[in-house]
Amino acid sequence: MISYFPAIYPDELVYSWFCRCYVHSGFFSSKSAMQELYCKRSDNPSKEFIGNLNPGAMNQIAKMYPLDKLVLEHTMYPQYARFIPLEQKKTALYRLGHDNCDAHHLFCVLPRSEGEHYLRFCPLCVNEDRETCGETYWHRKHQIRNMGICTKHRCRLVESSVPAKSEQDFVFCPAEHYIGCDKVVVEEDPQTIRFASYLESIFEAPMDFENDTPISSALYHGMYQTKYLKPSGRSRYTKMLADDLNVFYRDMGLYNVASMYQIQRVLLGSRSDFSVVCQIAFFLGMKPEELTSPSLTSEQIQQEQDSHYMKDTAPVDWVQLDTDTAPILEALAMYSVNRQLYPLTAGGLIPTHRLQVNLPFLMGFTNPDTGITEEVADSSVTLLCSGQVGNSHHIPHPLQDIAVLDLPAADVSLLFHVPVQADALIGGLVQAVGKDRMPRPSSPMYFSASPRVSSAS
């Protein structure tokens, strides 16, 4: 049992609090401190949340601070839970404070971008902390995704040597021990300062546990009377929005500007990433309270939901679709083999290339790293295999233009996005690896190429 917990500072991460507890309690090592705090020897400190506390530590902490209050005010919970559905938000709050759970199971945690791999700090805040508290600590607001400056001092944040990720990190790293005296770089761009203040105001706003307005509805109505939404409200010009947003943020030094894929998922209501939502809303000129406490009527919310309607949701003649699609796939596969895009050896096909094919019936794109599928009509599909992209060139073809990317691949994994039955595909060259039948065309099937030559060749 830990004999002493210091008072937690304003805006201090729980992780930072535990680091100071480790120092002030006189533990000889991080390992001995973790044994007093966590349930298992394999548990490691969580940088953004509380971690898997043992019952004794949990009870001791609960006597000092209500666990829900600790999660709300001293973890990164507001960043990840701000825009998720109401019940999911409540569940995440409880489980982060009372259960052993992986935050990735509670909400979407995106990979970190360049500039976000280490805990950050403000040199002027460090000086103030040492003057007022006798030590510095890890500030929560400095760890917000895409937060590049300290809004209080308007200077750029500095990366420390302490990894921001918690995985495989079994040491406590007190800020006082890992932060020296760094040069202060003042931010002069007013747009960057305004955006940082915008992020902070949304992050710090009280969490709404009553209103369950989808963030997609708030953004939809924020797009009204802009060129990114048709007057009918039925269509969004997502590519135009993504292109203009990219230009807008290009010179602001953001660690990660939202991609068209991320923007589209947020607008369709299937993602609620804090940074992406804030980038869209700030670009559209929305006020912070329009995101944190939207006041939309049920009719306005329904209007946004109705805008998701797609003609392709009508019943499909699957037999006819299979009949029409199979020859196209067969021609594509034969073309690939005949042009030796997959060179033959005694062992079969050598997986050394990646093709990018754009067919009018393709319904989506699969990210090979995350496995996430973007369901967009008429988008390109990438036939993927692992490896690094070398050079690329284009081969004209009557079907479509085919971009061939040379890859030193270890294995081949071609993904087709076509709602076609497995028995309608080319004899053995392409195999179904997903479900036998999808409920509608906008939910495409997954197919992979077999690393062998079949009778189709």
Which residue is it, tokens 């479509």? Answer: 400
Residue range 116-148, pLDDT digits in tens: 999 999 999 999 999 999 999 999 999 999 999
Output DSSP code: residue 35: H
Q: Can you give the pTM of this predicted structure?
A: 0.69
What pLDDT was estimated at residue 282? 98
Between 299 and 363, the more confident residue is 299
Burial environment of residue 378 by CB neighbours within 10 A (0 to 12, 13 to 18, 19 or more): exposed
What pLDDT was estimated at residue 333? 56
In this structure, the number of other CB atoms found within 10 A of the CB of residue 45 comes to 24
Domain ranges of the chain: 14-178, 213-309, 313-449
Task: Count the alpha carbons within 13 Å of 22 in the hemisphere toward its beta carbon.
Answer: 25
Residues of the chain with pLDDT > 90: what percent?
53
Between 178 and 314, the more confident residue is 178
pLDDT band (50, 70, 90) for residue 343? very low
In angstroms, the CA 244 to CA 241 distance is: 5
